Amino acid sequence: MKVNRTYSIDVSLVQALRSRRNQSDTVCRALRLYLAGEDEFSVSQVPSRNLLAALSARNDISEQLKAVIIAELTNGSE
């Protein structure tokens, strides 16, 4: 069962949340992690495509690796 609640959150969080497809699910998952005491960051929770995109933006990897990552992001399945 779901229930609607009104809470005040920072504008920056609202703006970031707008880019998510299922905003309610994102908030629910974040709150569950927080309430369970699992507020530490785990790279295993980050989708692979997000990791690849972040890695491609780094300056400390070779151009060859960047090309492979970009090809995967461009042509890979979602």
pLDDT of 47 reads 87
> Whole-prediction pTM value?
0.47
Local confidence pLDDT in tens for the 78 residues of the chain = 888 889 898 898 888 888 888 898 889 988 888 888 765 667 887 889 889 999 999 999 999 999 999 999 998 655
pLDDT of 44 reads 83
* Angle of CA points 33, 38, 39, to nearest 5°: 85
Closest C-alpha to 55, from 47, 46, 42, 65: 65
pLDDT of 70 reads 92
Would you give the DSSP letter of residue 46? S
